[in-house]
Amino acid sequence: MATKTKPNGKSEKNQPQSTRLWLMFPPKLITRPIVWELGQKFPLVTNVRQASVTDEIGLVSLELSGSRGDIKAAIKWMEKLGIKVEPVEINVIES
């Protein structure tokens, strides 16, 4: 059953929400302070929950809180830099 949600996306754009993400950094970005940059660029609260960095890959689980629009823009920005951004619920699509 559908809960009380607004039928159109527009009015939700500015409602605060939290999103949990896994970030995967390619080697060339491992040393760049992406999470700090993100906090400067977007009005979002960042909260790192887990991280593992090797020469090969950096994995960071990050919680982002803020408006839906800002979260979406931040994800776009990270993806443009070459970071893979997945929901913590990875594999939502199974075979």
Ligand X SMILES: Cc1ncc(COP(=O)(O)O)c(C=O)c1O
Q: Can you give the binding site for other proteins, defined by CB under 8 A? A: 1-3, 5, 19-20, 22, 24, 49-50, 52, 54, 56-57, 59, 61, 75, 84-95
Q: Closest CB to ligand X among 54 and 91?
A: 91
41 contact choice in other proteins, ligand X, none (CB below 5 to 8 Å, kind-dependent):
none
Residue pair 88/77 in contact (Cβ under 8 Å)? The answer is no
Return d(Cα 58, Cα 85) in angstroms, integer. Answer: 12
Q: Closest CB to ligand X among 89 and 94?
A: 94
* Residue type at position 47: N
- CA 69, distance to chain mean position in Å, is 12
50 contact choice in other proteins, ligand X, none (CB below 5 to 8 Å, kind-dependent):
other proteins
Return d(Cα 7, Cα 25) in angstroms, integer. Answer: 36
Question: What are φ and ψ of residue 74, in 5° steps?
Answer: -65, -40
* Binding of residue 94 to ligand X (CB under 6 A): yes
- The binding site for ligand X (CB under 6 A) comprises 94-95
